[in-house]
Amino acid sequence: MNSTSPMIQSFTPFLQEAWEKSNFSGPTPVQEQAVPEINEGKDVIVEAPTGSGKTLAYLLPLLNKVDSQKKSAQVVIVAPSKELSMQIADETRKWSEGSDIQIASLVGGANIKRQLDRLKKKPQMIVGTPGRLQELIQMKKLKMHEVKTVVLDEADQLLSHEHVKEMDDIIKGTLKDRQLLVFSATVPKEIEGKAKERMNQASVIRIEQSDDQLKNVAHYYITCERRDKIEQLKKVMNMPNVKALAFANDIDLLLELSSKLEYKGHSVGVLHSEATKQEREAAIKEFRSGKVPVLLSTDVASRGLDIQDLTHVVQLDVPRDEKQYTHRAGRTGRAGRSGTVISIVSGPEEKWLKQHGKNLNVTFEEKRFYKGELTD
C-alpha cells in the first residue's frame, strides 16, 4: 500500500505523509478489512493476531475523522494496562504529527493533577486505563457526551469480570449513536456476546495468523528431562545478544524457574497475573533496557506487550493449541526481521509439539547446545 492506494488517498495530508515516512509495503489484512467499516461509522469486533497491525487499523480512520477545530473529547481508547495505554498513546502522537489534534494519556498510577491539567487543554483523543478513566468521569473532569467513538483494545480483558463494570461506566456517558470498536488477539464466544450486547449490529472481522508471519521465524526444539529445562534455559540466556520472551503455561513453573535462576545468580524478569503493577512495570523496564536477557511470562500476562527487537521466544511448556503457538511465535520475526522459537520439551511434549507443527505446516528442527552454541 503506497501513496497511490485508494485507502491512503482518502486520508488527510498529515496521515498520507506519515504513511510515506513509515515505508510500509502495503496494508495488512486487518487494516484492509477494518478501515472501510470504521470509516462508515459501523460498530466492529476484530479478532486478529499480535503483530498483525490492529492498532493502526483503528487509529488511521479515527485520526482521519477527528475534528481538530472542535475542542472536546471525540475518541476514547481504553486498554487494560498502563504499559499498553502508553504504547498506544505514543503511536497516536506519532501518527498525528503535522495536525492540530491534541492527545491525552490518562493512566492509573500516574500523577492525576498533571492529567487534569492536560484535560483543561480539551484534547480530542484520549487514551487510558479503565480505572483512571472511570475516576475522571466520576469527578466530572472527563466529559463523554461528545465522544463519537470508544475503542476497547485487548477487549477480552476489558470485558472480563474484573473490568466490565468500569467499561459500562465509561460507555454509558456517551450518546446512543456513538461507535464502539472492539479489538483483541482472542475474542472467545462469551466476550463476543458481551460486546454485541453493548453494540449496534456489529460487523465481526476475524483474521487468522498468516503463514507469512511465521516464515521469518526458525522453529527449533531441544529435548531434555523436565528437571533439566532450567539448564537449557540458562544456556539460551548465555547466548550472545539474546532478548527472549520465555513462556510457561502456569504461574507455579514460572515462579519455580525464576527463584532457581535468581538463586544461581541469573537475573530474569517475571510477568504473571498475580504480580503487582509496580513489579510488572519494573520487570518490563529492566527487560527493555537490556538489564535482563529473558522475561519469563504466562500468556495472559504478556498480552498487549509489544517488545521491539525480540530475538527469541522460548517455550518452557508446549502450548495448549496451535493458536497459542502462533500467538507466541508471532512475537519475534516481526517487521521483516528474523527470529527464533526454541521449544524445550520433555517426554510426550515432543509428540504434541510436532502435532502442532503438522497442523500449522511448520517444520521443527531438533537442536542441542554444544560449547554454548545451538547445533544440529
pLDDT tens-digit profile, the chain (376 residues): 444 577 777 889 999 889 888 877 778 889 999 999 999 999 999 998 877 789 999 999 999 999 999 999 999 999 998 888 988 999 999 999 999 999 999 998 888 999 999 999 999 999 999 999 999 999 999 999 999 999 999 999 899 888 999 999 999 999 888 999 999 988 989 999 999 999 999 999 998 766 556 677 899 999 999 889 999 999 998 888 888 999 988 888 888 888 888 888 888 888 877 777 778 888 888 888 888 889 998 877 666 676 777 889 999 999 888 878 887 887 887 655 678 999 999 989 999 999 998 888 888 999 999 888 888 8
For residue 242, the model assigns a pLDDT of 87
**Superfamily of chain region 212-375:** P-loop containing nucleotide triphosphate hydrolases (3.40.50.300)
Query: Minimal CA–CA distance to 284: which of 266, 273, 274, 297?
Result: 297
Q: Does domain 6-206 have CATH number 3.40.50.300?
A: yes
Could you tell me the residue ranges of all domains in the chain? 6-206, 212-375
For residue 2, the model assigns a pLDDT of 45
pTM of the predicted structure, to 2 decimals: 0.71
| 3-state DSSP of 16-75 | HHHHHHHCCCCCCHHHHHHHHHHHCCCCEEEECCCCCCHHHHHHHHHHHHCCCCCCCCCE
For residue 344, the model assigns a pLDDT of 95
For residue 213, the model assigns a pLDDT of 61
Beginning with the edge strand found earlier in the chain, give each strand of the sheet holding 149-153 in spatial order.
Answer: 103-106, 125-128, 75-78, 149-153, 179-184, 44-47, 203-206
Domains 6-206 and 212-375 share a fold: yes
